Amino acid sequence: MPIRTVYGANVEHLQIMDEHGVVDQELAKNPDGTPVLKDEETLELFIYMGKCRALDETAFKLQRSGRMGTYPQNKGQEAAAIGSAYALERGSDWLVPCYRENAALWMHGLPMHYVLLHWMGDERGNQIPPGVCQTPLCIPIGTQPLHAVGISWAFKMRGEKKLAITYFGDGATSEGDVHEALNFAAVFQTPTIFFCQNNQWAISVPRESQMNNETVAQRAIGYDIPCMQVDGNDLIAVYKVTRDAAKRAKSGGGPTFIEAVTYRLADHTTADDARRYRDPKEVEAWVGKDPIIRLRKYLTAKGLWNDEKQRQLDEEAKVMVADVIKAAETIAKPSTDDIFDHVFATLTPELELQKKTMRTHSLGQFPEQAGLAR
């Protein structure tokens, strides 16, 4: 019998705006000829991106001055977070993040100072407000895609036109949990978007040293999940592929895997020194692909941005950052009741006693025992 091919696949890459701010006019249009992003939308997102960068850089200084424990900067990855989040429905679709998607979380309603509280060690930063459809920051690598699949599976079982998007890095795709999530999503065709921020480094391990793949996206092929690679520093392209994936998910088309090729311009966290393992020339090359710089070039060329508007943005961002930091640093001290009140809906008698006495041992709970005769 002749040998025959039973399966074939390829991974497409989308870039609409290059690092010089030049846009492919055809790719920037929808099938009906309308723009993928209108000028006013692009301008709004650029301003938002600038403010998020300003807060990110100030958060770094907070840690360096001893006012925060540690902090992973989002610098250089804003277009991936913002472009994808803008394509989703706020208050309906769920965001299941890692820890480098601050801009997306804020866009979908998380108060900005909550992220600072988290890194200051205040658990109230993880207490997501009612109506904000997202889970807290996830520090363990690769565990959150399982949660996203569970959430989206519930949507499907209920017949709700909603989805869950989960964010993770290239390193997380080497974790078993991610593959279990991909398999389950594929088998049950859940409305899940797997959004991989391939920032080239899993802390100090380069992508090519942790996988033999040409792309991260092709990992999804083995699960028969549609996949796409996109320039993660291209706001328009990221928005387009995420919007298309969202439409597919809500129409019953199942999950999608998106690989956003981007770069972590800062250290992994403030506890890291990337100079020890990264070539300065590599970093310099990626600085030239900065999503904010390229978007500013695009808007300037269209007459939508100039130095005066940039000055105004810088001033607005300075005021906003000061307000956010004040909210985080002047919050009232938590009550000891919080240890108990946010774990169980109804406390057990044992926990009620612990809450009342703030003791776990019997002598502390019943001090009158000290005077009993043996």
DSSP 21-54: S-B-TTTTB-TTS-BSS-HHHHHHHHHHHHHHHH
Token pair for residue 159? 């017949």
* Alpha-helical runs (H) found in 256-290: 280-287
Which residues are CB-neighbours of 244 under 8 A, at least 6 positions away? none
Q: Max Cα separation, the chain?
A: 93
Catalytic residue flag (residue 268): yes
What's the CA gap between 112 and 319, in Å, rounded? 13
What's the CA gap between 246 and 93, in Å, rounded? 9
* Alpha-helical runs (H) found in 202-279: 207-210, 235-250
For residue 43, count CB atoms less than 10 angstroms from its CB and return exposed for 0-12, middle for 13-18, buried for 19 or more. middle
What's the CA gap between 134 and 162, in Å, rounded? 13
The helix/strand/coil state of 94 is strand
- Among the options 20, 277, 342, 359, which is catalytic? 277
- Among the options 268, 294, 296, 298, which is catalytic? 268
Token pair for residue 33? 């000829």
What's the CA gap between 86 and 40, in Å, rounded? 14
For residue 194, what are the β-bridge partners? 166, 257
- Among the options 100, 264, 294, 296, which is catalytic? 264
For residue 35, what are the β-bridge partners? 29
Catalytic residue flag (residue 277): yes
The helix/strand/coil state of 108 is coil
Torsion sign over Cα 107, 111, 233, 261:
negative
CA-closest candidate to residue 39, choices 265, 216, 176, 236: 236
CA-closest candidate to residue 278, choices 170, 173, 205, 174: 205
Point out the residues that are catalytic: 264, 268, 277
